[in-house]
Structures are given as C-alpha cells and as structure tokens.
Amino acid sequence: MQQENPEILIRPACIDDLSIIFHLGERVFTRKELSNLYRTWDEFEVTSLFNLQPDNMLVAESGARVVGFAIGSVIRKVRAGRVFGHLAWLGVEPEFARCGVGSLLFDHFRELMAEAGVQTLVVDTQADNRPAIEFFCDKGFGSPVEHVYMTLPLA
C-alpha cells in the first residue's frame, strides 16, 4: 500500500535504531539488484559508520516507525585542502516511495554537510539504478563519472 502525505520527522539515529536500519537496508539494498561487494549491505557497515560519525546518520520517522535512513561521512583531504561529504547509503521503505521521504532525508543531510564545511558532496550508485539516478539529478547532482568494477573468482 502506498502512503499518501505521511507526517515525516527527520532526526539523528540512536543506538536503538541500528537493527531497524539494518533490516530496512536488507530489504532496500538487495543482492540481486546491487550485486557487487562494495554495494552489498551488511551490519558492519551500519555499526562502523555509527561508531565513526554518529551525527551523520539520520532516520525518517512516520509515527514511531522508522521508514528511511541516510548514512554518510565527512572526508577531509588535508593535502588537497578539500572537504568532501559522502552520502553512502540512502534508503526508503518501499511502501513510502515517492512521498518525499528521501528528499527530506537528503535535505537534512545536506544541511549537516554544509555545517561541517563540506565543499563537495559525492554520491554513487550502480549505473542501472534509475530511481536513484533520477533522485540525485532532481537534487542537483551532475558530472557523473563511470567507474568499472572487475571480479576474479578464486574458488
């Protein structure tokens, strides 16, 4: 069932949200659709990013229910004198798709990055993830650069 005009609250994630985020991510970042290791979701991704930069992990709530999350980090390249923000994971409960939840999460994340002095925001996704690419274009991202992953089976 698609939700219409849900009341959405964006807030920083807390420790109790981690398993909810992980299980929502399992539904959103499926191995079939996002098939390389780099983009394969696991619990260590959530816990280590929460350990490193908890302020840069946001959740979207509808009522008391977590229906989306944004997880990222600030990367300071001291030698280059540049500060990057990386939005690593953005996920929305499919039932709440196209209700503006992703947009609200992104807008809050972007504010956090600006407050941290970020000069350039970076996102990445697979080339065939049309919804994500449309979403990021809608948010003003441009200049896509192609990146090739290769595999060598050892077993």
Q: Which residues bind ligand COA (CB under 6 A)?
A: 28, 89-92, 97-103, 125, 129, 131-132, 134-135, 138
Nearer residue to ligand COA within complex by CB, 32 or 79: 32
Nearer residue to ligand COA within complex by CB, 38 or 80: 38
CB of 84 to ligand COA, least distance (A): 16
DSSP 3-state of 141: coil
Nearer residue to ligand COA within complex by CB, 87 or 152: 87
CB of 152 to ligand COA, least distance (A): 26
CB of 28 to ligand COA, least distance (A): 5
- What is the b/e burial string over 4-18, where b = at least 16 CB atoms within 10 angstroms of the residue's CB? eebebebeebeeebb
Nearer residue to ligand COA within complex by CB, 85 or 91: 91
Strands 82-92 and 120-123, how do they pair?
Answer: parallel
Nearer residue to ligand COA within complex by CB, 55 or 134: 134
CB of 22 to ligand COA, least distance (A): 14
Q: Cβ-closest residue to ligand COA?
A: 102
DSSP 3-state of 107: helix
CB of 25 to ligand COA, least distance (A): 8
Positions of E strands within the chain: 8-12, 57-62, 65-77, 82-92, 120-123
- What is the b/e burial string over 127-149, where b = at least 16 CB atoms within 10 angstroms of the residue's CB? eeeeebbebbeeeeeeeeeeeee
